[in-house]
Amino acid sequence: MFVIGLTGGIGSGKSTAGEIFAELGVDVIDTDQISRLLTKSGGSAIPAICDLFGDAYITENGALDREKMRQLIFSDGADRQKLEQLLHPLILAEVSSHIQRSLSQYVIVVVPLLFETGDYDHLVQRILVIDCDEQLQVTRTMARSQLSAADVRAVMATQVERQFRLKKADDIVRNNRDIGHLRAQIVRLHHFYLTLAT
Ligand code: ADP
């Protein structure tokens, strides 16, 4: 299976780009979505999270208390690593199983922390980076969440630098303009990827 890793900083437009690939009939595997499933009520990561962090981080419904965990891992890098070491192998196993079952001509795996984890090196044959100006990352993320500009900048500070990402990319989509412009670039790439996949 021809697998493309799609990545980019927070608010760069990864999910939006993923949705466009999905509309074109491509299987899109979203690692954030897998992470949410693993940590929802009854999710398979919940017992281990409880063991590692205590049940103070689990809501009454038995799901991960995201807001509390977010606060913890931004104040303590070691805790962030602990959570990542727990979740990443589980996410990777899910991704591999999706890829094996896929009947798509190629597969897109959306991995926000593709470079940060290194877990995906052996799994993806090509890297697509969605990129936009940092100020746009901040304003777009603020518009869709409760995060302040400082919160968004704090998340960006935990991610690899924009220039590093761009250097490592096989393909780059610049998402500084409207959605139509994003879509046109994705459609072009889709045709290119179809030729690479066959
Ligand atoms: P990511 O998944 O990289 O965090 P999203 O795809 O969720 O980013 O995009 C962040 C926000 O910006 C979303 O609300 C999305 O609808 C919006 N957005 C993405 N691309 C554009 C664009 N080209 N023009 C306007 N808004 C956009």
- Of the chain, the end-to-end C-alpha distance in Å amounts to 10
pTM of the predicted protein model: 0.92
Q: What is the atom index within ligand 1 of the atom nearest the CA of 19?
A: 6
- Rounded to whole angstroms, the Cα distance separating 130 from 5 reads 11
Mutate to test the pocket of ligand 1, among 16, 155, 175 (most ligand atoms within 8 A of CB): 16
Say how many Å lie between the CA of residue 58 and the centre of ligand 1. Answer: 29
Domain ranges of the chain: 2-26+104-197, 36-89
Nearest-5° angle of CA 142, CA 147, CA 32? 90
55 C-alpha vs ligand 1 centroid, how far in Å?
34
CB 144 near ligand 1, within 6 Å: yes
Q: Which CATH architecture has domain 2-26+104-197?
A: 3-Layer(aba) Sandwich (3.40)
Q: Is the pLDDT of residue 73 over 90?
A: no
pLDDT digits (tens, 9 = 90+) for 44-54: 999 999 999 99
Q: What is the pLDDT of residues 13-27, one digit of tens each?
A: 999 999 999 999 999
The closest residue, in CA terms, to atom 4 on ligand 1 is 11
- What the block records as the tokens of 38 is 């693993």
Give the annotated binding-site residues for ATP. 11-16
Q: Is 165 in the pocket of ligand 1 (CB under 6 A)?
A: no
pLDDT digits 0-9 by tens, 128-152 = 999 999 999 999 999 999 899 999 9
8 A C-beta contact, residue 27 and residue 33: no
Residue 186: per-residue pLDDT: 98
How does the average pLDDT of the chain come out, rounded?
Answer: 95
